[in-house]
Amino acid sequence: MHNRVESTAPEVDLYRIPLQYITDHKEGVSIPEQVEAVCKGGCRWVQLRMKEADREEFIRVGRTVKEICKRHGALFLVNDNVDIALELDADGVHLGKEDMDPLEARRILGYSKIIGGTCNTFEDVVTRFRQQVDYIGLGPFTYTSTKKRLSPVLGLEGYQKIMEACQEEGIYLPVHAIGGIREDDIQPILSTGVTGIALSSLLKNSEDITGKTREMVEQLKIKELPP
Protein backbone atom coordinates (compact mmCIF):
# COMPACT_ATOMS: atom_id res chain seq x y z
CA MET A 1 0.00 0.00 0.00
CA HIS A 2 1.34 3.41 -0.93
CA ASN A 3 0.26 6.65 0.64
CA ARG A 4 0.54 9.37 -1.91
CA VAL A 5 0.54 13.18 -1.87
CA GLU A 6 2.29 15.80 -3.94
CA SER A 7 5.84 16.47 -2.83
CA THR A 8 6.77 20.08 -2.11
CA ALA A 9 9.78 19.53 -4.38
CA PRO A 10 7.76 19.66 -7.60
CA GLU A 11 10.18 17.98 -10.01
CA VAL A 12 10.39 14.62 -8.28
CA ASP A 13 7.87 12.04 -7.18
CA LEU A 14 9.73 10.51 -4.25
CA TYR A 15 7.30 7.58 -4.11
CA ARG A 16 8.85 6.44 -7.37
CA ILE A 17 12.35 6.20 -5.90
CA PRO A 18 11.95 3.60 -3.16
CA LEU A 19 15.64 2.78 -2.57
CA GLN A 20 17.98 5.23 -0.88
CA TYR A 21 21.67 4.49 -0.36
CA ILE A 22 23.42 6.11 2.58
CA THR A 23 27.20 6.31 2.29
CA ASP A 24 29.52 5.18 5.05
CA HIS A 25 33.24 4.84 5.53
CA LYS A 26 34.62 1.53 4.28
CA GLU A 27 38.24 0.48 4.15
CA GLY A 28 39.21 -0.19 0.54
CA VAL A 29 36.04 1.18 -1.10
CA SER A 30 35.96 4.97 -1.33
CA ILE A 31 32.67 6.83 -1.12
CA PRO A 32 32.72 7.76 -4.85
CA GLU A 33 33.34 4.06 -5.63
CA GLN A 34 30.38 3.06 -3.44
CA VAL A 35 28.15 5.61 -5.16
CA GLU A 36 29.24 4.57 -8.66
CA ALA A 37 28.55 0.93 -7.76
CA VAL A 38 25.04 1.50 -6.34
CA CYS A 39 24.10 3.78 -9.22
CA LYS A 40 25.24 1.11 -11.70
CA GLY A 41 22.91 -1.27 -9.86
CA GLY A 42 19.95 1.06 -10.42
CA CYS A 43 19.81 3.03 -7.17
CA ARG A 44 18.55 6.55 -7.91
CA TRP A 45 18.81 8.20 -4.51
CA VAL A 46 22.08 8.76 -2.64
CA GLN A 47 22.57 10.46 0.70
CA LEU A 48 26.12 11.57 1.40
CA ARG A 49 26.76 10.84 5.08
CA MET A 50 30.32 11.47 6.30
CA LYS A 51 30.21 11.85 10.07
CA GLU A 52 33.98 12.07 10.48
CA ALA A 53 34.73 14.51 7.66
CA ASP A 54 35.45 18.21 8.07
CA ARG A 55 33.71 20.74 5.86
CA GLU A 56 36.51 20.87 3.29
CA GLU A 57 36.61 17.09 2.81
CA PHE A 58 32.80 16.85 2.72
CA ILE A 59 32.65 19.42 -0.06
CA ARG A 60 35.51 17.84 -2.01
CA VAL A 61 33.95 14.35 -1.93
CA GLY A 62 30.50 15.90 -2.40
CA ARG A 63 31.48 17.47 -5.73
CA THR A 64 32.57 14.08 -7.08
CA VAL A 65 29.53 12.28 -5.71
CA LYS A 66 27.20 14.90 -7.15
CA GLU A 67 28.78 14.42 -10.56
CA ILE A 68 28.34 10.62 -10.39
CA CYS A 69 24.71 11.00 -9.30
CA LYS A 70 24.02 13.46 -12.09
CA ARG A 71 25.47 11.11 -14.70
CA HIS A 72 23.15 8.32 -13.48
CA GLY A 73 20.09 10.51 -12.94
CA ALA A 74 20.20 9.87 -9.19
CA LEU A 75 19.13 12.26 -6.44
CA PHE A 76 22.00 13.62 -4.38
CA LEU A 77 21.19 14.56 -0.79
CA VAL A 78 23.51 15.82 1.94
CA ASN A 79 23.27 14.53 5.51
CA ASP A 80 22.89 17.02 8.39
CA ASN A 81 24.37 20.18 6.92
CA VAL A 82 22.16 22.73 5.15
CA ASP A 83 25.07 25.03 4.54
CA ILE A 84 26.99 22.33 2.64
CA ALA A 85 23.84 21.31 0.71
CA LEU A 86 23.54 24.93 -0.39
CA GLU A 87 27.20 25.22 -1.35
CA LEU A 88 27.05 21.98 -3.39
CA ASP A 89 23.64 22.83 -4.85
CA ALA A 90 22.55 19.34 -3.78
CA ASP A 91 19.04 18.07 -4.50
CA GLY A 92 18.31 18.27 -0.81
CA VAL A 93 19.27 17.62 2.77
CA HIS A 94 18.43 15.04 5.41
CA LEU A 95 18.03 16.46 8.91
CA GLY A 96 18.27 14.65 12.24
CA LYS A 97 16.73 15.83 15.48
CA GLU A 98 19.81 17.82 16.45
CA ASP A 99 20.07 19.52 13.07
CA MET A 100 18.43 22.66 11.72
CA ASP A 101 14.65 23.02 11.87
CA PRO A 102 13.27 21.88 8.48
CA LEU A 103 11.24 25.10 8.14
CA GLU A 104 14.43 27.15 8.44
CA ALA A 105 16.19 24.78 6.00
CA ARG A 106 13.31 25.30 3.56
CA ARG A 107 13.69 29.06 3.83
CA ILE A 108 17.39 28.75 3.01
CA LEU A 109 17.25 26.05 0.31
CA GLY A 110 13.94 26.97 -1.33
CA TYR A 111 10.94 24.96 -2.42
CA SER A 112 12.60 23.09 -5.26
CA LYS A 113 14.87 21.18 -2.85
CA ILE A 114 14.08 17.99 -0.98
CA ILE A 115 14.07 18.11 2.79
CA GLY A 116 13.93 14.91 4.81
CA GLY A 117 13.77 14.32 8.52
CA THR A 118 14.54 11.52 10.93
CA CYS A 119 11.70 10.02 12.99
CA ASN A 120 11.56 7.36 15.69
CA THR A 121 8.02 7.80 17.05
CA PHE A 122 4.57 8.77 15.79
CA GLU A 123 4.99 12.11 17.62
CA ASP A 124 8.16 12.71 15.57
CA VAL A 125 6.19 11.98 12.39
CA VAL A 126 3.51 14.52 13.35
CA THR A 127 6.21 17.13 14.05
CA ARG A 128 8.00 16.47 10.76
CA PHE A 129 4.72 16.51 8.82
CA ARG A 130 3.87 19.91 10.30
CA GLN A 131 7.36 21.07 9.34
CA GLN A 132 6.46 20.11 5.77
CA VAL A 133 9.31 17.71 5.12
CA ASP A 134 9.20 15.90 1.77
CA TYR A 135 9.91 12.47 3.24
CA ILE A 136 10.90 10.88 6.53
CA GLY A 137 13.48 8.27 7.50
CA LEU A 138 11.74 6.13 10.13
CA GLY A 139 13.82 3.84 12.29
CA PRO A 140 15.84 2.10 13.38
CA PHE A 141 14.22 -1.14 12.27
CA THR A 142 16.72 -3.07 14.36
CA TYR A 143 20.20 -2.65 15.85
CA THR A 144 22.90 -1.30 13.56
CA SER A 145 26.46 -0.25 14.26
CA THR A 146 26.33 2.31 11.41
CA LYS A 147 24.75 4.93 13.66
CA LYS A 148 25.96 6.00 17.10
CA ARG A 149 23.43 6.94 19.81
CA LEU A 150 20.77 4.78 18.21
CA SER A 151 17.12 5.47 19.12
CA PRO A 152 14.99 2.55 20.41
CA VAL A 153 14.47 -0.10 17.74
CA LEU A 154 11.00 -0.25 16.17
CA GLY A 155 10.77 -3.78 14.79
CA LEU A 156 7.90 -4.66 12.49
CA GLU A 157 5.35 -3.93 15.23
CA GLY A 158 6.69 -0.40 15.62
CA TYR A 159 6.25 0.30 11.90
CA GLN A 160 2.80 -1.26 11.95
CA LYS A 161 1.64 0.94 14.82
CA ILE A 162 3.12 4.15 13.43
CA MET A 163 1.85 3.59 9.88
CA GLU A 164 -1.63 2.77 11.19
CA ALA A 165 -1.63 5.94 13.29
CA CYS A 166 -0.56 7.93 10.21
CA GLN A 167 -3.48 6.57 8.28
CA GLU A 168 -5.93 7.30 11.08
CA GLU A 169 -4.68 10.88 11.31
CA GLY A 170 -4.51 11.44 7.54
CA ILE A 171 -0.74 11.85 7.48
CA TYR A 172 0.56 10.79 4.07
CA LEU A 173 4.16 11.24 2.97
CA PRO A 174 6.99 9.07 1.67
CA VAL A 175 8.41 6.97 4.51
CA HIS A 176 11.78 5.24 4.24
CA ALA A 177 12.50 2.53 6.79
CA ILE A 178 16.10 2.58 7.98
CA GLY A 179 18.53 0.81 10.26
CA GLY A 180 19.82 -2.74 10.19
CA ILE A 181 17.62 -3.80 7.26
CA ARG A 182 18.52 -7.06 5.51
CA GLU A 183 17.16 -8.63 2.30
CA ASP A 184 14.43 -10.66 4.02
CA ASP A 185 13.12 -7.69 5.98
CA ILE A 186 12.10 -5.65 2.95
CA GLN A 187 8.78 -7.27 2.01
CA PRO A 188 7.51 -7.47 5.62
CA ILE A 189 8.46 -3.82 6.17
CA LEU A 190 6.72 -2.72 2.96
CA SER A 191 3.59 -4.58 4.04
CA THR A 192 3.21 -2.08 6.92
CA GLY A 193 2.67 0.76 4.44
CA VAL A 194 6.24 2.07 4.49
CA THR A 195 6.99 3.32 0.96
CA GLY A 196 10.77 2.89 0.67
CA ILE A 197 13.95 1.58 2.24
CA ALA A 198 17.23 3.30 3.12
CA LEU A 199 20.25 1.01 3.18
CA SER A 200 23.87 1.45 4.09
CA SER A 201 25.75 -1.59 5.40
CA LEU A 202 23.83 -4.24 3.44
CA LEU A 203 25.03 -2.68 0.19
CA LYS A 204 28.38 -1.31 1.32
CA ASN A 205 29.53 -4.63 2.82
CA SER A 206 28.43 -6.75 -0.11
CA GLU A 207 31.17 -8.40 -2.18
CA ASP A 208 29.28 -7.22 -5.24
CA ILE A 209 27.72 -3.85 -4.42
CA THR A 210 26.24 -3.39 -7.89
CA GLY A 211 24.71 -6.89 -7.98
CA LYS A 212 23.26 -6.57 -4.48
CA THR A 213 21.80 -3.16 -5.35
CA ARG A 214 20.21 -4.61 -8.49
CA GLU A 215 18.56 -7.33 -6.36
CA MET A 216 17.19 -4.73 -3.94
CA VAL A 217 15.90 -2.52 -6.77
CA GLU A 218 14.11 -5.56 -8.17
CA GLN A 219 12.54 -6.34 -4.77
CA LEU A 220 11.39 -2.75 -4.45
CA LYS A 221 9.97 -2.39 -7.96
CA ILE A 222 6.92 -0.27 -7.42
CA LYS A 223 3.60 -1.49 -8.62
CA GLU A 224 1.23 0.84 -10.43
CA LEU A 225 0.27 3.55 -7.95
CA PRO A 226 -3.31 4.66 -7.54
CA PRO A 227 -4.13 7.99 -9.23
Residues between 4 and 33 that touch ligand TZP (CB under 6 A): 22
Q: How many residues bind ligand TZP (CB under 6 A)?
A: 14
Residues between 111 and 130 that touch ligand TZP (CB under 6 A): none
With a CB cutoff of 8 Å and minimum separation 6, the contacts of 72 are: 39, 40, 44
R_g over Cα of the chain = 16
- Find out whether 146 is annotated in a ligand binding site: yes
Binder among 78, 178, 190, 220 for ligand TZP (CB under 6 A) = 178
Q: Indicate the burial class of 144 (C-beta count within 10 angstroms; 0-12, 13-18, 19 or more).
A: middle
**Helix (H) or strand (E) run with residue 116 in it:** strand 114-119
35 vs 23: CA distance, rounded Å: 8
Indicate whether 201 belongs to the interface with ligand TZP (CB under 6 A).
yes
Among 9-17, 29-37, 50-58, 176-184, the segment contacting ligand TZP (CB under 6 A): 176-184
Q: Measure Cα distances from 168 to 6, 139, 161, 189 in Å.
A: 19, 20, 11, 19
Binder among 199, 209, 216, 220 for ligand TZP (CB under 6 A) = 199
Pick 80 or 134: Cβ nearer Mg ion = 80
- Return the closest-CA partner of residue 93 out of 122, 139, 62, 130: 62
Q: How many residues bind Mg ion (CB under 5 A)?
A: 2
- Find out whether 47 is annotated in a ligand binding site: yes
82 vs 106: CA distance, rounded Å: 9
Q: Are 213 and 43 in contact (CB under 8 A)?
A: yes
21 vs 15: CA distance, rounded Å: 15
Binder among 200, 213, 216, 220 for ligand TZP (CB under 6 A) = 200
Q: Are 106 and 132 in contact (CB under 8 A)?
A: yes
Binder among 18, 62, 92, 179 for ligand TZP (CB under 6 A) = 179
- Find out whether 161 is annotated in a ligand binding site: no
Among 36-44, 66-74, 152-160, 195-203, the segment contacting ligand TZP (CB under 6 A): 195-203
Pick 11 or 76: Cβ nearer ligand TZP = 76
Residue 10 C-beta: closest distance to ligand TZP, Å: 27
Question: What residues are designated binding site?
Answer: 47-51, 79-80, 99, 118, 144-147, 180
Residues that bind ligand TZP (CB under 6 A): 22, 139-140, 144, 146-147, 178-181, 199-202
Q: Please give the residue ranges that form the binding site for Mg ion (CB under 5 A).
A: 80, 96
